[in-house]
């Protein structure tokens, strides 16, 4: 027995598998009420799918290893090759060098304080000498002018 | 299913931000479905388990490449499909299982377990492409378009493989299915 619609008959596999839209489903169901061949085909399809539904899912034999499990942790040398980790190491090393090498020790600090005090004292002495020299120069200049005036009889008008 | 997709999307977003626990939760949700798909496809529990493990690892590594998190399931099954067929290609061609036609009368009063074994046997007699089409549609519930994406072939090819497989299964299972229906 064949369907009278021949090539245009409903796609019963798509129907049984839930792939037809609502309109196509209604059309197919309407056709099935009058077509024995299509009714048989749909029944056979449903019987097959029912039989297939008896196949049950099996439990997984053991747990899938998670990506956070130890087995997936990278080796220590791989960690070193990680650019982020390597950059962090360089920064940490630079901080350590700065903290322990570039920082003045107790002796160095004391020496620096002495140097600063000496520099300050030297600067003060130089300033004092300059002032004394300037005062002496002014005094000699005044005396020279007085002597010059008195020896030449020049009187300032 | 919609809630599941929404939650999957949320977990994927978290996993992409480096929250490994979120990905672990995704694995817990999908491992059974994926394992059973692979088990029916390769017909070996250990191989199926290893493939399942590899699939989840590859998926984790490639998570940033997933364009649309709503399509996570299809994307995951595509990775599994590639892994499985890579293994199947490496295997030596197996001796085709001899068809075991049942005498019509021998299927009387089949128990569910017997019908289940008949289904398993009938599935094994399909070609790998046909079997995979059945697994994705009947057991995993993917739409034709999703199957086409997983299998990387046109929808027409998907339908052709699936319909041929269903015709073969109908013939193979008819005696057993009818016997069950009568009992």
Q: How far apart are CA B139 and CA B154, in angstroms?
A: 21
Tokens of B76: 């995951």
pLDDT of res. A88: 82
pLDDT of res. A131: 86
Residues of A with CB below 8 A from B169's CB? 48, 52
Q: Which of B27, B55, B26, B51 is nearest to B39 (CA)?
A: B51
pTM: 0.66
How far from chain centre, in Å, is Cα B119? 14
Nearest-Cα distance to chain B for A104, in Å, is 43
**Stretches in chain B below the pLDDT threshold 70:** 1-6, 92-111, 178-183
**Inter-chain CB proximity A59 and B32 less than 8 Å:** yes
Question: Is B158 within 8 Å of A36 (Cβ atoms)?
Answer: no
Question: ∠ CA A121-A127-A131 to the nearest 5 degrees?
Answer: 145
DSSP state of A97: H
**Inter-chain CB proximity A67 and B20 less than 8 Å:** yes
Cβ partners under 8 Å of residue B82, min gap 6: none
Nearest-Cα distance to chain A for B32, in Å, is 6
pLDDT of res. A94: 84
CATH number of B107-182: 1.10.10.10
Q: Which of B27, B29, B16 is nearest to B55 (CA)?
A: B27
A68 touches chain B (CB under 8 A): yes
pLDDT of res. A111: 83
pLDDT of res. A142: 81
Q: How far apart are CA A149 and CA B35, in angstroms?
A: 123
Domain ranges across chain B: 2-90, 107-182
Location of structure tokens 């005498």: B103
**Inter-chain CB proximity B32 and A55 less than 8 Å:** no
Burial call A67-85: b when 16+ CB within 10 Å, e when fewer: beeeeeeeeeeeeeeeeee
In residues, how long is chain A? 157
Nearest-Cα distance to chain B for A48, in Å, is 5
Q: Using CB atoms, which residue from B24, B112, B180 is nearest to A66?
A: B24
Q: How far apart are CA A53 and CA B111, in angstroms?
A: 14
A70 touches chain B (CB under 8 A): no
pLDDT of res. A157: 42
pLDDT of res. B99: 43
**Inter-chain CB proximity A17 and B21 less than 8 Å:** no
**Inter-chain CB proximity B32 and A57 less than 8 Å:** yes
Q: Which of B72, B78, B124, B79 is nearest to B97 (CA)?
A: B124
pLDDT of res. B103: 41
Question: Is B133 within 8 Å of B161 (Cβ atoms)?
Answer: yes
**Stretches in chain A below the pLDDT threshold 70:** 1, 68, 70-81, 102-105, 152-157
CATH 3.40.50.10860 for domain B2-90: no
């Amino acid at each position: 027995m064949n369907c009278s619609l021949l090539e245009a008959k409903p796609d019963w596999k798509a129907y049984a598998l839930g792939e037809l839209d609502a309109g196509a489903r209604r059309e197919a169901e309407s056709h099935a009420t009058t077509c024995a061949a299509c009714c048989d085909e749909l029944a056979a399809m449903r019987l097959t799918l029912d039989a297939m539904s008896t196949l049950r899912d099996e439990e997984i034999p053991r747990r899938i290893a998670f990506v956070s499990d130890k087995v997936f942790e990278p080796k220590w040398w791989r960690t070193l090759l990680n650019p982020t980790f390597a950059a962090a190491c360089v920064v940490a090393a630079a901080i350590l060098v700065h903290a322990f090498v570039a920082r003045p020790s107790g002796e160095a600090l004391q020496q620096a304080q002495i140097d600063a005090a000496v520099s300050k004292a030297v600067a003060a002495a130089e300033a004092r000498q300059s002032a004394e020299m300037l005062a002496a120069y002014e005094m000699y200049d005044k005396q020279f002018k007085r002597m010059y005036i008195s020896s030449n009889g020049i009187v300032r008008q | 299913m919609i809630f599941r997709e929404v939650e999957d999307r949320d977990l994927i977003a978290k996993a992409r931000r480096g929250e490994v626990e979120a990905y672990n939760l995704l694995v817990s949700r999908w491992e059974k479905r994926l394992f059973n798909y692979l088990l029916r496809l390769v017909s070996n529990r250990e191989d199926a388990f290893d493939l399942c493990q590899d699939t989840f690892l590859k998926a984790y590594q490639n998570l940033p490449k997933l364009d649309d998190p709503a399509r996570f399931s299809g994307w995951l099954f595509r990775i599994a499909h590639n892994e499985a067929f890579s293994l199947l290609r490496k295997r030596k061609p197996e001796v085709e299982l001899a068809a075991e036609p049942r005498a019509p009368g021998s299927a009387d009063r089949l128990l569910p377990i017997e019908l289940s074994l008949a289904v398993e046997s009938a599935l094994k007699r399909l070609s790998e492409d046909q079997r995979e089409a059945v697994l994705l549609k009947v057991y995993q519930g993917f739409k034709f378009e999703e199957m086409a994406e997983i299998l990387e072939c046109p929808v027409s090819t998907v339908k052709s493989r699936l319909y041929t497989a269903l015709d073969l299964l109908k013939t193979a299972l008819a005696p057993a299915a009818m016997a069950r229906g009568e009992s």
